[in-house]
Amino acid sequence: MKISKPRIVVSKCLEFDQCRYNGLSINDSIIRSLKDYVEFIPICPEVEIGLGTPRDPIRLIYKNKEIILVQPNTKKDITVKMKKFSDQFVNNLGTIDGFILKNRSPSCGIYGIRVFDDIDKPSVKFKDKGLFAKSILHHFSNFPIEEEGRLKNTEVREHFFTAIFAIANFRDEVTKPTRGKLIEYHSKNKYLFMMYNQTILKKMGKLLASLTDQKIEDTVELYFEMLKELFSRRPNKHSVINVHMHALGYFSKDLNSKEKKYFLNTLEKVRSKIIPVSGVNSILESWMARYDQPYLSKQIFFQPFPQELIDPSDYAKGRVLD
C-alpha cells in the first residue's frame, strides 16, 4: 500500500539547526524518526527577521490593548517585522500538510505562551499564542498543527501522524482527480473516517454520490474541507470501540472463544487508555493475514501511517497519557 510523504513545516531549532536564542539546537527523537517519511520545511522566524544566533530573548507584552513582541534587553519592538514575515511566509508556502512548532516560544508556541504586563518588571497578565503561530493557525484552519512537546503523548502523536498522512495521501490522489480516484480514496478510508466522525463520513459519502466529472474541482475542494474538519479533533473512545467491533464481525465465525476473549480484553485496554489504538490493530492485521478479507485488507484504518513510527515503548510504559 503506497504511503505519501507529508510536507511539514517544522521549527528549525528542532533537530535542524543551532538557532535557539542561546545558540543551541534541540534533540528530538520524534522529529528524527520522521525524517525518512516526511518532507520537512524548517523555519526559524526569529532568525528570518534578523535577530541572529545567539540573541537576546524576546517576550510578548500587552500594551495599549494589543499584544506586541519585544526584546527587553534592547527595547526593540519587533511586532511589525514578525507579522510581516509571517504573512509573507504563509502566502508563499504552497502545498502543505501540517506543522510541528516549538513549544513555549513567543514566536512559535501554540499553547499557554505567557503575555506580560510590562517590559521591565513584568508579571504574567494572561496566556496566548506566539505571533508566528497565530498567523499559521489563522491561515491554515483545521490543518494538523502541533507543538513538539505534545507529540510525546502517544494519543496526540498517533492522531497527528494519522492526520498528516491521510491529508498527504489525499493530496496525491487529487493531483489529477477523477471520480474513480475520489471514490476509491473514500472507500479505503471508510473505517478510519468512521472512527473519527460518522456524521462527516456520511456527508462525504453524499457529496461523492452526486459527483460528476464536470463538478470535480468543486467537489475536491469541499471534500478537502470536510477531511480537515474530520481530523480537527481526536476520536472519542466510543467511536474507536465501535469500529473495532465492526471489524471483529468479519472474523467472528472463524475465531474460537479464547481468541475472541483475548481481542475483547485488548480492546478494553484501548478503552482504558492503557495501550494506543495501534495496539489492537495488530491483532486484526494478523487475522487478515490468516483469513481472506479483501475489503478489510484495503482499509487504511489498520495502518494509517508507517509502522516504523510506532514506538514500542508505548506498550511497555503501562499507560498511555491522557
Please report, rounded to a whole number, the percentage of residues in the chain having pLDDT higher than 70: 96
Cell of 161: 501522524
Judging by DSSP bridges, how do beta strands 39-43 and 59-63 pair with one another?
A: unpaired
pLDDT band at 56 (very low <50, low <70, confident <90, very high): very high
Position 109 pLDDT exceeds 60: yes
pLDDT at res. 314: 62
Position 208 pLDDT exceeds 90: yes
* Listed residue (127, 164, 157, 126) closest to 143, CA to CA: 164
pLDDT at res. 273: 83
Read out DSSP for 281-310?
Answer: HHHHHHHHHHS--HHHHT-GGG-SS-GGGS
Read out DSSP for 183-248?
Answer: HHHHHHTHHHHHHH-HHHHHHHHHHHHT--GGGHHHHHHHHHHHHHHHTTSPPPHHHHHHHHHHHH
Cell of 209: 454520490
Query: Mean pLDDT across the chain, nearest whole number?
Result: 93
Position 14 pLDDT exceeds 70: yes
- Residue 162 DSSP label: H
Tens-place pLDDT, residues 162-187 = 999 999 999 998 888 999 999 999 99
Query: What residues does each domain of the chain span?
Result: 7-52+78-113+129-150, 154-230, 242-316
Mean predicted confidence (pLDDT) in 32-49: 98
pLDDT at res. 315: 54
Position 322 pLDDT exceeds 60: no
18 vs 310 pLDDT, higher one: 18
pLDDT at res. 318: 42
Mean predicted confidence (pLDDT) in 233-238: 91
pLDDT at res. 319: 41
25 vs 213 pLDDT, higher one: 25
pLDDT at res. 279: 83
For residues 24 and 91, give the distance between their C-alpha atoms in angstroms, rounded to a whole number. Answer: 29
Tens-place pLDDT, residues 266-307 = 999 988 888 888 889 989 999 999 998 999 999 999 999 999
pLDDT at res. 272: 87
Sign of the Cα torsion 18, 20, 22, 27 reads negative
Position 30 pLDDT exceeds 70: yes
Asked if residues 302 and 182 have their Cβ atoms less than 8 Å apart, the reply is no
Asked if residues 4 and 172 have their Cβ atoms less than 8 Å apart, the reply is yes
Position 321 pLDDT exceeds 50: no
DSSP 3-state of 62: strand
pTM for this entry: 0.93
